[in-house]
Amino acid sequence: MANNTADHPPGNSVTEIDQDGDFGITMIQLRDLMELRSGEAVSKIAECYGDVQGICRRLKTSTIEGLSANPTDLEKRYTVFGKNFIPPKKPKTFLQLVWEALQDVTLIILEVAAIISLGLSFYHPQGEGKDNCGQASGGVEDEGEAQAGWIEGAAILFSVIIVVLVTAFNDWSKEKQFRGLQNRIEKEQKFTVIRKGQVIQISVAEIVVGDIAQIKYGDLLPADGILIQGNDLKIDESSLTGESDHVRKSLEKDPMLLSGTHVMEGSGRMVVTAVGMNSQTGIIVTLLGATGEDEKKVKKAKTQDGIALEIQPLKSEEGAETEEKEEKEKKKVNVSKKEKSVLQSKLTRLAVQIGKAGLIMSAVTVIILILYFVIDTFGVQGHKWTAECTPIYVQYFVKFFIIGVTVLVVAVPEGLPLAVTISLAYSVKKMMKDNNLVRHLDACETMGNATAICSDKTGTLTMNRMTVVQAYIGDTHYKNVPEPGAINPETLELLVNSISINSAYTTKIMPPEMEGGLPRHVGNKTECSLLGLVLDLKRDYQPIRDEIPEEKLYKVYTFNSSRKSMSTVLKNATGPGFRMYSKGASEIVLRKCSHVLDASGQPRAFKAKDRDEMVRKVIEPMACDGLRTICVAMRNFTTEPDWDNEAEILNDLTCICVVGIEDPVRHEVPEAIAKCQRAGITVRMVTGDNINTARAIATKCGILQPGEDFLCMEGKEFNQQIRNDKGEVEQERLDKVWPKLRVLARSSPTDKHTLVKGIIDSTVGETRQVVAVTGDGTNDGPALKKADVGFAMGIAGTDVAKEASDIILTDDNFTSIVKAVMWGRNVYDSISKFLQFQLTVNVVAVIVAFTGACITQDSPLKAVQMLWVNLIMDTLASLALATEPPTESLLLRKPYGRNKPLISRTMMKNILGHAIYQLVITFTLLFAGEKLFNIDNGRNAPLHSPPSEHYTIIFNVFVMMQLFNEINARKIHGERNVFEGIYRNPIFCSVVLGTFVLQIVIVQFGGKPFSCTALTIDQWLWCVFIGVGELLWGQLISAIPTHHLKFLKEAGHGIPKNEFSEEVLTEGENEIDIAEMELRRGQILWFRGLNRIQTQIKVVNAFRSSLYEGLEKPDSRNSIHNFMSHPEFVPLSEEEPHVFQIDENSVQIEPIFSFSGAGVGSV
C-alpha cells in the first residue's frame, strides 16, 4: 500500500493547524459519510476526497506514522470532533431507591396498620356508656395505652423506616459497586494505535479522530473508521444491523467500520473518523433518549434472528443499570439465554408458600378474635349494639386487625431478601480478591450448583507460556532445539523468514520487566513460541519485519477456527511470481504438502505413505509427550493464481519443518480438578489441539484417570455420532455421548456450543445439569451465553468473549473457577442457615401470637416487641449468617441440583425441634411463670396497670432463645460442633454481642414503648440459662437420625423438570419474570405471587384440558421464563408418553414420541 507521507508530513505541526484554523473536513461531513454503506460509501469517498488517503490528508494524519501525539493537537481534535465517550445515564438517587423499597407489599401493610394505630391513639371516646358496651379481657385502653398509645404506631413506622433505609442503602451500594465494576472493565479496555510511528496501546477514551488504529481478530471496535489496509477482514455487525452474517471488509467494496461491531476474522488498520456521541453507536444512543422504556421498544423492534441488539458497547460509562437492562433484554429476546437461577426459583416458590401460610394464620386469628368478642359481648353478656358504643366496638375490631397484621408481619420473613442481597454482595466483593470479577450477581450463586465444567486447555489448564522443545527439520527428529550449525543454511533461512513474516506483526518477544525474569510474550502465544525458536537459533526476526513491513504483504489468510492455519503471500522482489508461507496444525497442513525439505535443503516428494510414517514416528510421539505440533510450510507460484480459491491456493505445499510446542500444565491445576471431582463436578476439556496432545494433558491434569471408561474424541467423530443423516443434531444421540465424554479435541466453537446446549437440554439425569464454560475467543461467545455460567479469560480473552460472559477470570486460572464454586455453595448455604433461623423465630412467634390472642385476647408479645424480634434481629441475623466465610468442606459434598429443596429434612427437623423447645418454655412461662418466679400474674391484668414483670420475662426469654439458636443455625447438615470457625467471622460475633447489649437496654430502659419493666439480676440469669438450654437441646436434636423422621416434609423445591412453562405461550407478550426483577432489587414481593399463581393454574388447566388425556406437561427448560408453580400442583399423569420440544427460533411445539422409564407409553 503506497504511503502518502509526502503530501502531508507526519509530524503535523501545530502552527499549520492554527493557520488553517480548521481541518479540511467537518464533523458533519464525516458523520454523513459514516452513514453510507459499501458501494455508496466507496463512490462518495472517490467523488469527494479521491481516496482514503485524501481523507487522511484532510484530517492531517499519516497512514504510516499516525498522529504526532502533540498535546495541543490532541486537545484541538477533542474540541472539534468530540471525545470518545458516551455520557452515562444518571444513577437512581437514594430517594428513588427509598421509594422503590417502600413498594414492598409487606411494608405497605405495616404502614397502613401503623397509621390506623396512630390515628386511633389520638381518638379517645367519651367514658360514659362504657359499662353498657360490655368488657373484654385485656381491654382496648389501659392507662399505659392512653398515655403512650401513639408509641406502638410510631414504633412500627420507625421499624419500617429502618428496613426501607437498609434496603435502599443496600441497593445504592450495589449500584455503586456495579458502576465501579463497569469503570474497571472500561479502564482495562485498551486499543492499539500508531502515534509518532510507534505502535502503542492507549485507553479507549483517549482515541481521537485522525488516529490510525490497528484492528485484529476479537476486537470490539471503539470508534467509527475507514479501512486503510486489511487482511481477510470480516466483521460481525449484528449489534447494529441485526444481520447475523459476517460482513467482508475491503478497500474496493466496503471500507466502513462501525463502533460496537466485532472483528471476527483477519486484521488491518483504519483511520478513526467518528468518536463518542458522533459515532454510529452514539447516534443510536442519542435517538433512544435517556428513558429505559424507549430503549426497550427500540431494542425489541430492531431485533432479528433472535439476536438482541447490544446498543451499548463495552466502552460507555453506563453503570450497572444499563448493563442489567441490556442483559435482561437479551434474556427476553434471545431464547437461548439462561433461565432464572436455581436459588431465585426456589426462593420465589418458598416465598409464595410462606405468604399463603401467613395470610391464612392472620385471617384465622382475626376471625377467631372477632367471633369470640361478638359471642361474648352480644351472646353471653346480652348487650345490644347502640350508637354510643360504636366507636368502642370499632376500636376493638381495629385492635384485632392489628394483632392479625402482627401475626402476618411475623409470618413473612422480610429479612430474607436482605440476607440474599447481603450474601451475594459480600461474596462478589470477596470473589474479586480470588480473581473472579463477577458481572452478573446471580452467576455467583448458580456456580454453587454447577455439575459440569467445560474448560479450554490453553491458558486455563496450562500456563499459556509456549516454548518450542522439539523439532523435525531435514529428516531429523531433534528431541531438543538444535544448534544453528546442525541445520542446512538454506533451510534455516527459509524457516526464519517464514516464522518472522507469517505471524501477526503485533506479536513480539519483549525483554523481561524484572532482571532475571522471563522474556515477556506479547500477542499470540503460539506465534511467540515460534519467534522464541528464531531467537534460540541465534537469529532475529525484527530486521526481516523492518525490511518487509505489513504494507508489502501481498495477501494474508489469517488464522480462523475453520482454516486452523495462517498463510502470507509475498510478491517476489527480483522476478515475477509469488511466495507463500504457511503454518498451522500439523495434521491439517501436512495433508496439503506434496514435498518436504530433506537434509540438504532440497524438496523431495512427500506421498501419503510418507505422511503416515511421519505421523507415526514424529507427530504421535510429540503429541503423547503433551506437545502441540505445528507445521511450517511454503509454496512458490510462477504466475498469479485466483487468490479467492483457497482450496487450490493452500495445496501442493512444501514442508519446511514440524515443531513440538510445550505448554506446561499449571502446578495447581491437578489438585483443583481433584477437588472438583470430589465435589461431584465433571470437568471436560474442549480444545482445538489434536487428540494425542489433549489426552496427554488431560491425563496430567487428572481429567482422565487410568482404568476408567471415558471417551476422548475429535470434533469430526463427535459430529458423526450426534447428527442424523440430514446433518441435524439429535438430543437422543447426544445423550449417549456426553455422559462419558471427557476430552473433545480438534473442536470448533460450534462443537463447543452444541455440547453445552446438549448437556443443558439433556433429560438423562434426575436433575437438569448446570454447566459452566470457559472461553477466550470471539467464537466462544455463543457457548458462553448458552452456559449457565460463562467464564471469560481476563488476560487472553477477547472483548467479545468478555461481553458474553458472567464472570471474568482476571488471572485466567482454572483454580479460580474452583473458588467460584466454593463461594457459590457458600451463598446457598448462607441463605439456608438464615432460613433455618428465621423460620424457627417465625413458627414460634406466630403460634405464640395466635394462641395467646385466642386464649387471652391479647398477644403475649406486643407488636413493638414482635417488630424488634422480627425486623431488627432478622436484619442483624441476615448480616451475621450471610457473611460466613466459605470453607474447603463445602467441596466435599455433591451439588444440590435444581430440584433439591432449600429446606432439607435435617433443617426441618432443626426448625421444628427448636420450635417445640421454645413453645414449651414460652407457654410454661405464660401460664405458670408467676408461680415459678414468684411474681404477679401478668395475664388478665387489671386495667391501667403498668408493664408486668411476667410478660417482660416472657419477652426476654424469647429473645435469649433466639440469640442462642442463632449459634445453632450456623450448621445446617446436622454437625455437632456449632462453634467451629466462629472466630473467623467477626461480623457474627459482633452481631450476637450487639443484639445482647441492645436487649439489655430495651428491657432495663425500654419502659412503656416496649411494654417492658426492669428485671433483677436473678431473673436475668434465669433468662440467659433458659437461652443456653437451646444449645444443649440442639445437641439432642442432632442426635436423632433424620432418616427415621419420614413424616417431615421438605420445602422450597426447585422447579420440577416436567413442569409446564406457561410463558412459552405468551413469549411475545413481554412477560416480566418476578423473581429475576425483584431479586436484583434485593426485594421479593411475597404476595404478588398468589394472584399470578391462580391465573397460571387456570391457564394450565385450560391448556391441558384442550389436549387429550395422559399428556405430560411440556418441558420448560428451553424457555427463558420459568413457571412459578402452585406448591401443591401435582401432575395429573405420572407417565411420560409424550415430550414436547420447543424450537428455539420460533415458538412451535413439536411432539416427539418418547418412552417412559419402565415401559412404553401409549401414544
Across the chain, mean pLDDT equals 75
Query: What is the residue type of 164?
Result: V
From 478-482, 798-802, 889-893, the region with the lowest mean pLDDT:
798-802
- pLDDT-based confidence at 660, cuts 50/70/90? very high
Rounded CA-CA distance 171/1006 in Å is 32
Q: What is the model's pLDDT at position 644?
A: 84
- pLDDT-based confidence at 338, cuts 50/70/90? very low
What would the mean pLDDT of 976-989 be, rounded to a whole number? 87
Q: What is the model's pLDDT at position 512?
A: 78
Q: What is the model's pLDDT at position 186?
A: 65
DSSP 476-504: EEESSPPPGGGS-HHHHHHHHHHHHHSS-
Q: What is the model's pLDDT at position 185?
A: 63
Query: What is the residue type of 475?
Result: D
Phi-psi region of 270 (alpha: psi -120 to 50; beta: other; left: phi over 0): beta
Q: What is the model's pLDDT at position 776?
A: 78
Rounded CA-CA distance 1090/1087 in Å is 5
Rounded CA-CA distance 379/640 in Å is 111
Q: What is the model's pLDDT at position 326?
A: 38
- pLDDT-based confidence at 1110, cuts 50/70/90? very low
Cβ–Cβ contacts within 10 Å for residue 576, how many?
Answer: 10
Q: What is the model's pLDDT at position 884?
A: 84
Q: What is the model's pLDDT at position 1103?
A: 39
Helix locations, 702-771, DSSP H: 715-722, 731-737, 749-761
Burial profile 441-456: b = 16 or more Cβ within 10 angstroms, e = fewer: bbbbbbbbbbbbbbbb
Rounded CA-CA distance 143/617 in Å is 101
Q: Is 986 exposed, middle or buried (0-12, 13-18, 19+ CB in 10 A)?
A: exposed
Q: Beta strands 682-686 and 711-714: pairing type?
A: unpaired
Q: Beta strands 627-637 and 653-662: pairing type?
A: antiparallel
What would the mean pLDDT of 771-796 be, rounded to a whole number? 83
CB-based contacts of 1050, cutoff 8 Å, min separation 6: 901, 903, 904, 905, 908
Q: Is 517 exposed, middle or buried (0-12, 13-18, 19+ CB in 10 A)?
A: exposed
Q: What is the model's pLDDT at position 1053?
A: 60
3-state SS assignment for residue 737: helix
Query: What is the residue type of 169?
Result: F
What would the mean pLDDT of 522-528 be, rounded to a whole number? 84
Distances (CA, A) of 546 to 2, 193, 531, 540, 549: 16, 18, 15, 11, 6
What would the mean pLDDT of 403-411 be, rounded to a whole number? 73
From 34-43, 344-353, 369-378, 703-712, the region with the lowest mean pLDDT:
344-353
DSSP 662-715: E-PBPTTHHHHHHHHHHTT-EEEEE-SS-HHHHHHHHHHHTSS-TT---EEEEH
Rounded CA-CA distance 612/230 in Å is 38
- pLDDT-based confidence at 131, cuts 50/70/90? low
User: Can you give the three-state secondary structure of 519-549, one letter per residue?
Assistant: CEEECCHHHHHHHHHHHHCCCCCHHHHHHCC
Q: What percent of the chain has pLDDT over 70?
A: 75
Condensed to tens digits (0 to 9), the pLDDT of residues 177-207 reads 667 766 766 666 778 888 887 788 888 888 8
Q: What is the model's pLDDT at position 941?
A: 60
Rounded CA-CA distance 1009/284 in Å is 58
- Alpha carbon of residue 632 to chain centroid: 41
What one-character DSSP code corresponds to residue 874? Answer: H
Q: What is the model's pLDDT at position 868?
A: 78
Q: What is the model's pLDDT at position 109?
A: 65
What would the mean pLDDT of 1059-1081 be, rounded to a whole number? 37
Rounded CA-CA distance 525/467 in Å is 9
Query: What is the residue type of 23?
Result: F
Please check the confidence at residue 1022 and state whether its pLDDT lies above 90: yes
What would the mean pLDDT of 708-719 be, rounded to a whole number? 88
Condensed to tens digits (0 to 9), the pLDDT of residues 541-599 reads 989 988 888 878 888 888 877 778 899 999 888 878 899 999 998 888 999 999 999 88
Beta bridge partners of 193: 200, 213
Rounded CA-CA distance 12/31 in Å is 23
Please check the confidence at residue 1137 and state whether its pLDDT lies above 50: no
What one-character DSSP code corresponds to residue 857? Answer: S
Q: What does pTM read for this prediction?
A: 0.67
Q: Residue 835: which of 420, 445, 357 has the closest Cα?
A: 420
Rounded CA-CA distance 326/321 in Å is 8
Contact 584, 646 (CB under 8 A): no
Helix locations, 1006-1123, DSSP H: 1017-1039, 1074-1081, 1088-1105
Contact 327, 440 (CB under 8 A): yes
Beta bridge partners of 807: 438, 791
From 379-388, 713-722, 1105-1114, the region with the lowest mean pLDDT:
1105-1114
Q: Residue 831: which of 1079, 1024, 576 has the closest Cα?
A: 1079
Please check the confidence at residue 153 and state whether its pLDDT lies above 90: no
Query: What is the residue type of 398?
Result: V
- Name residue, grid cell 492455519: 565
Query: What is the residue type of 1079?
Result: L
Q: Residue 702: which of 679, 681, 683, 687 has the closest Cα?
A: 683
Please check the confidence at residue 340 and state whether its pLDDT lies above 70: no
From 8-12, 98-102, 420-424, 1038-1042, the region with the lowest mean pLDDT:
8-12
Condensed to tens digits (0 to 9), the pLDDT of residues 304-320 reads 333 232 323 333 333 33
What one-character DSSP code corresponds to residue 440? Answer: S
Rounded CA-CA distance 995/966 in Å is 11
Phi-psi region of 305 (alpha: psi -120 to 50; beta: other; left: phi over 0): left
- pLDDT-based confidence at 766, cuts 50/70/90? confident
One of 224, 456, 776, 1073 is an active-site residue; which one? 456
Distances (CA, A) of 573 to 491, 504, 552, 636, 643: 20, 21, 10, 13, 19
Beta bridge partners of 791: 774, 807
What one-character DSSP code corresponds to residue 387? Answer: G
Condensed to tens digits (0 to 9), the pLDDT of residues 237-247 reads 876 766 667 78
Rounded CA-CA distance 472/1138 in Å is 58
What would the mean pLDDT of 441-447 be, rounded to a whole number? 80
Rounded CA-CA distance 780/773 in Å is 9
- Name residue, grid cell 499449571: 666
Which of the residue ranges 22-26, 205-209, 961-965 has the most confident prediction, judged by mean pLDDT? Answer: 961-965
Q: What percent of the chain has pLDDT over 90?
A: 13
From 525-539, 584-598, 770-784, 983-997, the region with the lowest mean pLDDT:
770-784
Q: What is the model's pLDDT at position 915?
A: 93
Q: What is the model's pLDDT at position 725?
A: 86
From 523-527, 945-949, 951-955, 1024-1028, the region with the lowest mean pLDDT:
945-949
Q: Residue 890: which of 977, 824, 822 has the closest Cα?
A: 822
Q: What is the model's pLDDT at position 1078?
A: 37
Which of the residue ranges 62-76, 621-635, 970-984 has the most confident prediction, judged by mean pLDDT? Answer: 621-635
Q: What is the model's pLDDT at position 188?
A: 67
Rounded CA-CA distance 100/1 in Å is 60
Burial profile 1117-1155: b = 16 or more Cβ within 10 angstroms, e = fewer: bbbbbbbbbbeebeeeeeebbbbbbbeeeeeeeeeeebe
Rounded CA-CA distance 565/557 in Å is 8
Q: Which long-range contacts (CB under 8 A, 24 or more apart) does 124-129 make?
A: 125/391, 125/392, 125/395, 126/388, 128/388, 129/386, 129/388, 129/389
DSSP 263-311: EEEEEEEEEEEE-GGGSHHHHHHHHH-S-HHHHHHHHHHT-BTTBPP--
456 is catalytic: yes
Contact 1137, 1119 (CB under 8 A): no
- pLDDT-based confidence at 1063, cuts 50/70/90? very low
Rounded CA-CA distance 54/45 in Å is 9
Distances (CA, A) of 492 to 215, 286, 658, 1079: 32, 58, 13, 63
